[in-house]
């Protein structure tokens, strides 16, 4: 069993899942251990969409924590992935976000790799004019970047450096897998992508994603225009190991809803200049109008009405992170539905009507805990467990995140 990351002072992390010490968001040693135990450990990481690499030779670069990765479509049609690091002197093999190539060549000293990441040739391997070159016993097959074990699920590419760990399906559980397949049930198309920089530790953003009741308080647009209120019904599904969650909101009930009367989130007098923004159509054969799904440590799938997107969390130190957004449609979208998705894309993102606040609150916490490393947060809403529940007035999925994190970190 892994040794603890650090020797904890007595009482610094009480038993259970309802207290989280603030030093976990600020300790450089924790960040280093996360890279080794999470991002290079037995976790499944979202890498890209399968449609990012449709043809042999197509590739896309991505990250697993601090580790750069190349995803490629090989000659045999397989989707493969390997570390974006030349085995010679450590330079990036691929500099661009993506493209199409016959093979890969490091710009530094021209070491060449095939589409699987195998080293195939070394410039001046036999020297020049009989002088210099690599040793006679140099074997290209013994050198190369680390290879990832890859799986493709519902058009999403996930990878891990640990080939003999639990399968993706076993890791997230059959119920969460069904929720993933519910949304991504046919051929996808990318309709937009961008990267958002956030001034907070990556775990604060994932906590926010799994916090299923803040949306009814922080995001006044959500409640004002009745996209999601806790009174709408729904619930939270949490995998047994805490690795994955899916929060669902049912379609708004008919008639008046006075649940938020007198609260900050009650703004019934507000109106949209363009009411068509709220137009949506049911396309998933159920009553779910909103679903947020996450997979530990850094993947998010959103369905808010008809706007679909995946988000990838990339840590950038203890107090900064990148959030990669990819907006999706289906290949068979009608022009009207595609226009609706593009308009509704303004709901989420850096200036999104319902998620601009999410980009700020993590920074507020990061600043608020600057002198509170010995203190803890309180995560008691809805009880003490990380179990599936039929209400969103709970922090069960946040506790699930910490259940998964502590198990993999040995804390």
pLDDT tens for residues 166-186?
Answer: 999 999 999 999 999 999 999
- Dist. CA 46–CA 154, nearest whole Å: 12
**Residue 161, in any domain of the structure:** no
Strand 156-160 versus strand 307-315 pairing type: unpaired
Average pLDDT in the chain: 89
Give phi and psi for 84, each to the nearest 5: -85, 70
Rg (CA), the chain: 23
Rounded to two decimals, the pTM is 0.90
- Dist. CA 183–CA 404, nearest whole Å: 24
Cis peptide before 297 (omega within 30 of 0): yes
Token digits of residue 333: 């979208």
Question: Do 313 and 233 share a domain, yes or no?
Answer: yes
pLDDT greater than 70 at residue 228: no
- Element housing 120 (H / E): strand 119-121
pLDDT tens track for 278-318:
788 989 989 898 999 999 999 999 999 899 999 999 999 99
Question: Do 100 and 224 share a domain, yes or no?
Answer: no
Bridge partners, 45 (sequence order): 159
pLDDT greater than 50 at residue 2: no
- Dist. CA 306–CA 179, nearest whole Å: 16
The total number of structural domains in the chain stands at 2
Question: Do 346 and 208 share a domain, yes or no?
Answer: yes
The CA-atom distances, in angstroms, between 119 and each of 74, 98, 139 are: 15, 20, 9
Residue where a domain stops, chosen among 123, 152, 181: 152
CA dihedral 51, 52, 55, 57 (to 10 degrees): -160
Domain limits at 93?
45-152
Q: Which pLDDT score, from 0 to 100, does residue 411 have?
A: 85
How would you class 351 by CB atoms within 10 Å of its CB: exposed for 0-12, middle for 13-18, buried for 19 or more?
Answer: exposed
Q: Which pLDDT score, from 0 to 100, does residue 355 have?
A: 72
Cβ atoms of 226 and 252 within 8 Å: the answer is: yes
Residue 7 neighbours by CB distance under 10 Å: 7
The model's confidence at residue 15, banded by pLDDT at 50, 70 and 90, is: confident
Give the SS3 label for residue 334: coil
Question: What percentage of the chain has pLDDT greater than the value 70?
Answer: 87
* Residues 6+ away with beta carbon under 8 Å from 285: none
Cβ atoms of 361 and 198 within 8 Å: the answer is: no
**Residue 92, in any domain of the structure:** yes
Domain CATH code at residue 345: 3.90.380.10
Question: Do 249 and 358 share a domain, yes or no?
Answer: yes
Question: Do 189 and 236 share a domain, yes or no?
Answer: yes
**Residue 286, in any domain of the structure:** yes
Per-residue pLDDT averaged across 238-245, rounded?
Answer: 98
Domain CATH code at residue 106: 2.102.10.10
How would you class 151 by CB atoms within 10 Å of its CB: exposed for 0-12, middle for 13-18, buried for 19 or more?
Answer: middle
Tell me, what DSSP letter sits at residue 38? I
Question: Do 282 and 366 share a domain, yes or no?
Answer: yes
Residue where a domain stops, chosen among 152, 184, 214: 152
Angle between helices 202-210 and 396-409 (to 10 degrees): 140
The model's confidence at residue 223, banded by pLDDT at 50, 70 and 90, is: low
Question: Do 278 and 405 share a domain, yes or no?
Answer: yes
Residue 375 neighbours by CB distance under 10 Å: 13
Question: Do 148 and 177 share a domain, yes or no?
Answer: no
Question: Do 274 and 190 share a domain, yes or no?
Answer: yes
The model's confidence at residue 10, banded by pLDDT at 50, 70 and 90, is: very low
pLDDT greater than 50 at residue 350: yes
- Element housing 81 (H / E): strand 79-83
**Residue 387, in any domain of the structure:** yes
- Dist. CA 250–CA 235, nearest whole Å: 9
Strand 244-250 versus strand 119-121 pairing type: unpaired
Question: Do 182 and 235 share a domain, yes or no?
Answer: yes
Angle in degrees, CA 116, 119, 124, rounded to 5: 150
Strands (E), 316-389: 321-330, 376-378
The model's confidence at residue 271, banded by pLDDT at 50, 70 and 90, is: low
Residue that wins the pLDDT comparison between 259 and 402: 402
The model's confidence at residue 1, banded by pLDDT at 50, 70 and 90, is: very low
**Residue 8, in any domain of the structure:** no
**Residue 55, in any domain of the structure:** yes
Question: Do 240 and 387 share a domain, yes or no?
Answer: yes
CA nearest neighbour of 159 among 93, 91, 65: 65
**Residue 308, in any domain of the structure:** yes
- Dist. CA 399–CA 238, nearest whole Å: 10
- Dist. CA 389–CA 332, nearest whole Å: 35
CA nearest neighbour of 86 among 64, 117, 56: 117
**Residue 283, in any domain of the structure:** yes
């Amino acid at each position: 069993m892994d040794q603890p990351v650090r020797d904890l002072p007595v009482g610094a992390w009480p038993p259970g899942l309802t207290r989280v010490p603030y030093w976990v968001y600020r300790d450089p040693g924790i960040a280093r251990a996360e890279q080794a135990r999470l991002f290079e450990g037995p976790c499944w990481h979202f890498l890209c969409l399968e449609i990012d690499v449709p043809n042999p030779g197509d590739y896309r670069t991505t990250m697993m924590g601090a580790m750069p990765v190349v995803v490629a479509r090989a000659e045999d049609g397989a989707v493969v992935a390997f570390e974006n690091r030349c085995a010679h002197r450590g330079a990036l093999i691929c500099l661009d976000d993506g493209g199409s190539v016959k093979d890969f060549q490091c710009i530094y000293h021209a070491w060449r790799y095939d589409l699987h990441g195998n080293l195939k040739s070394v410039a001046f391997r036999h020297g020049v004019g009989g002088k210099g070159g690599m040793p006679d016993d140099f074997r290209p097959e013994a050198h190369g970047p680390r290879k990832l074990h890859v799986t493709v699920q519902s058009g999403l590419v996930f990878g891990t450096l640990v080939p003999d760990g639990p399968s993706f399906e076993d890791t997230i559980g059959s119920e969460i897998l069904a929720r993933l397949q519910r949304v991504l049930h046919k051929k996808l198309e990318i309709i937009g992508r961008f990267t958002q920089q956030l001034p907070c530790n990556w775990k604060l953003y994932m906590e926010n994603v799994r916090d299923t009741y803040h949306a009814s308080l922080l995001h006044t647009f959500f409640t004002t225009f009745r996209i999601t209120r806790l009174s709408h019904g729904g619930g939270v599904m949490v995998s047994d190991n805490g690795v994955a969650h899916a929060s669902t909101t049912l379609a708004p009930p008919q008639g008046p809803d006075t649940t938020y009367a007198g609260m900050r989130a009650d703004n019934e007098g507000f109106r949209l200049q363009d009411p068509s923004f709220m137009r949506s159509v049911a396309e998933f054969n159920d009553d779910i109008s909103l679903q947020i799904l996450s997979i530990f440590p850094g993947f998010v799938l959103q369905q808010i009405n008809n706007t679909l997107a995946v988000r990838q969390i990339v840590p950038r130190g203890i107090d900064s992170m990148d959030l990669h957004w990819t907006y999706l449609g289906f290949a068979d979208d009608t022009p009207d539905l595609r226009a609706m998705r593009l308009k509704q894309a303004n709901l989420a993102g850096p200036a999104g009507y319902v998620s601009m606040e999410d980009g700020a609150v993590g920074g507020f916490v990061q600043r608020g805990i600057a002198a509170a490393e010995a203190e803890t947060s309180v995560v008691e809403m809805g009880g003490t467990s990380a179990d599936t529940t039929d209400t969103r007035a709970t922090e069960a999925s946040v506790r699930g995140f910490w259940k998964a994190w502590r198990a993999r970190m040995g804390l």
